[in-house]
Structure 1
Amino acid sequence: MNYRVVDPDDLEPVEDRPCELRRLSEAAGLTTVAINRFRAEPGEQLPLAYHYHEHQEEAFVVVSGTLHVETPDGEFEVLEGEVFAADTEAPHRAYNPDSADEAVEVIAIGAPPSDDAVAYEPDE
């Protein structure tokens, strides 16, 4: 049996992203699920713009702050301790609004791990 303990703060943030992103899966030796930690200051969005995944289910666990998620069905406010889940092909955009008082910290979980994000343009 193999076990690992990973401290996200020991990992280098991914460069050129609109908020702090630390990839946890590889460091933990995981291959069938993607796990990332995001920290978004007020006015920042999580790394992907409005998008959906063709094959991946995605969940955001809010560790601190309040996450806002825009969808075609309306906007969700996801409070600390809550989980927002998106099915495959369900468009969403996660962000921390300019008006927020604090950063939001989120653990994102996606399965299967993939680079299948498709840009989504909401109807004006």
Structure 2
Amino acid sequence: MAYSVIDPDDCDRVDGRPCDLRRLSDAAGLDEIAINRFDADPGEQLPLAYHYHETQEEAFVVLSGTLHVETPEEEFTVPAGSMFAVEPEAPHRAYNPEAADDSVSVVAIGAPPVDDAVPYEPDG
């Protein structure tokens, strides 16, 4: 058996992202699940775009701050200590509003660990 202790701050920051993204599952050598830490300042979003996943289930565990998630039906406010779950094919955009007082820190978990994000246009 193999074990890992990962400090997210020791992981490389992923370039070209709208916030600070660290890939924890890569650092731990995990192949069956994607685990990432996002730190977003006010005005930053977590994903690159409003999107949905074809097959991936996703969960966002809020470590600090308040996460906002836009969906076609409503906007969710997810406080620290809570989790927001998303089923496949459910459009969403997770972000920290411009008017927020603090940054938000989130651990995102997705399975299977596939790159199946499909852009979603809320107006059509």
Same fold (TM over 0.5): yes
Name the amino acid aligned to 1:3: Y
Name the amino acid aligned to 1:45: Q
What's the TM-score once normalised by structure 1's chain length?
Answer: 0.98
For the residue of structure 2 that corresponds to 1:9, the secondary structure is helix
- C-alpha separation between the residues in 1 aligned to 2:98 and 2:62? 18
Query: C-alpha root-mean-square deviation of aligned residues, in Å?
Result: 0.8
Q: Tell me what 2:37 maps to.
A: 37
Shift of 1:54: 0.1
Shift of 1:97: 0.2
Q: Tell me what 1:82 maps to.
A: 82
For the residue of structure 2 that corresponds to 1:36, the secondary structure is strand
Write the mapping of 1:1-124 to structure 2, written as runs, cut at 5 A.
1-123=1-123
- C-alpha separation between the residues in 2 aligned to 1:113 and 1:2? 19
The number of aligned residues is 124
8 A Cα contact 2:67 2:94, kept in partner = yes
Unaligned stretches of 5+ residues in structure 1: none
Please say which of residues 42-51 and 108-117 is displaced more in the overlay. 42-51
Unaligned stretches of 5+ residues in structure 2: none
